[in-house]
Amino acid sequence: MSTLSSREAAALIGTYRRQPVEFVAGDGAWLTDADGKTYLDFLSGLSVTSLGHAHPAVAEAVAAQVRRLVHTSNLFYTEPQVALAERLRATLGWDDGKAFFANSGAEANEAALKLARRHGKKEHPDKVRVVALSGSFHGRTLGTLATTGNPAKHEPFEPLGDWVTHVAHDDPDALDAAVDEGTSAVFLEVVQGEGGVRPVASAMWHAARSACDRVGALLIADEVQTGLGRLGVWYGWQSTGVEPDVVTLAKALANGLPIGAMVARGDAPKAFAPGDHATTFGGGPVLCAAALAVLDVIEREGLVARAASMGEQLQARLATLTDEHALAAGVRGRGLLQALVLERPLAAAVTSAALRRGLVVNDVAPDAVRLAPPLVIGEGELDEMTTRLGAALHEATPGAGAQR
């Protein structure tokens, strides 16, 4: 491990704080490191490998497509891309939905920002502003970074412009007041994943929908982390009672291969004309074949309903930990995206202690540990997680892990 770390330091730009483990293989909810030690993966590569590692259906779909055709560019038709757009439209319940495929969640959100600007400028040349929430995360391109509601992430790259207004994540009146005739879009997450796994109340969604309708702006649902079953519904917005105009997806769509998607309905997709936006690799045959296999497995194995039921069990086990450990303060989240909230900002210590015990989680906030297991997680694995995380809490608690 020390040799690989030294090689990385010499060859890679230091944009990541690595955990001291080299993973070499995975199977289902388990990872194996270079020394042969196994780890229970309750992070899923940041909500990505929802079917678990090395899923055979995805591997077979990718292998078959690679042998047939890898790339043509978007100058030509390919059947997997059209088929994937049709399938996404069906899962969303949007007969008029139209997709644009990118390579990541940030790029899907960037496409949505550009679509909103084109849509707004057709009404008025200054209708380009965006309203988003404090604590949000929408990506690391300059546009999506500006939309992200985290000043600490802005600071190294400022100035980012003044076209985004951020309002509190729990203040519907402030959101309504921020939307005016110059607003082209409101950007919302259903659960602020990078903001500490913090659900956004339905009242905010209703306020956003009303405000967008009032001024002719687009309501954009960022489902990059929450879409495709993770919250126990196909898409988180379906639990809010509000329908957006645009949905963005990525992470779980191809179970680890790089693909993002923006799907728009109604008049929104008409804002783009040929040449307005493009990508060389987005929607390539291999990625779309993988995504189609993912959707097949989710539907065939009933993984959306499974995420709902297993999410309840995950939440219950985390609640048990809050009863047993002084460091654990509470639980928040939905479905299989949950956070164990701590009494003190010791999430990094808990995460490190868990890793030493063969459990992969992450400190999404100083006082919150994120858990996002694959949708195929089993009850026995939930029990194993509870044991290992409980031991990590005990180790990280000042004073030798005081018990309640």
Q: Which of 335, 345, 296 is nearest to 313 (CA)?
A: 335
Distance CA 378, CA 303 (A): 12
Whether the pLDDT of residue 31 is over 70: the answer is yes
| Judgement on whether residues 149 and 18 belong to the same structural domain of the protein | no
Q: Is 240 exposed, middle or buried (0-12, 13-18, 19+ CB in 10 A)?
A: buried
What residue has token string 């309640």?
404
286-326 pLDDT, tens per residue? 999 999 999 999 999 999 999 999 999 999 999 999 999 99
At 292, the amino acid letter reads: L
How large is the average pLDDT for residues 88-93? Answer: 98
How large is the average pLDDT for residues 108-136? Answer: 98
Q: Find the catalytic residue in 222, 245, 363, 367.
A: 222
137 is catalytic: yes
Q: Find the catalytic residue in 251, 272, 363, 367.
A: 251
Whether the pLDDT of residue 347 is over 60: the answer is yes
Query: In whole numbers, what is the pLDDT of the chain averaged over residues?
Result: 97
* pLDDT of amino acid 380: 98
State the pLDDT confidence band at 400, using cuts at 50, 70 and 90. low
CATH number at residue 244: 3.40.640.10
* pLDDT of amino acid 2: 77
The count of domains in the chain is 2
Give me the domain span that covers residue 124.
56-300
Measured CA to CA in angstroms, residue 119 lies from 116, 205, 279 at distances of 5, 21, 20
37 is catalytic: no
Distance CA 224, CA 241 (A): 19
Distance CA 348, CA 361 (A): 10
Asked if the peptide bond before residue 398 counts as cis, ω within 30 degrees of 0, the response is no
Q: Please, are residues 214 and 206 in contact by the beta-carbon 8 Å criterion?
A: no
At 61, the amino acid letter reads: A
Whether the pLDDT of residue 402 is over 60: the answer is no
| Judgement on whether residues 294 and 185 belong to the same structural domain of the protein | yes
| Judgement on whether residues 116 and 177 belong to the same structural domain of the protein | yes
Measured CA to CA in angstroms, residue 22 lies from 1, 19, 247 at distances of 7, 8, 35
* pLDDT of amino acid 401: 42
How large is the average pLDDT for residues 133-153? Answer: 97
Q: Which of 195, 121, 196 is nearest to 163 (CA)?
A: 121
* % the chain with pLDDT above 70: 99
CATH number at residue 339: 3.90.1150.10
Q: Please say which residue of 253, 283, 300 terminates a domain.
A: 300
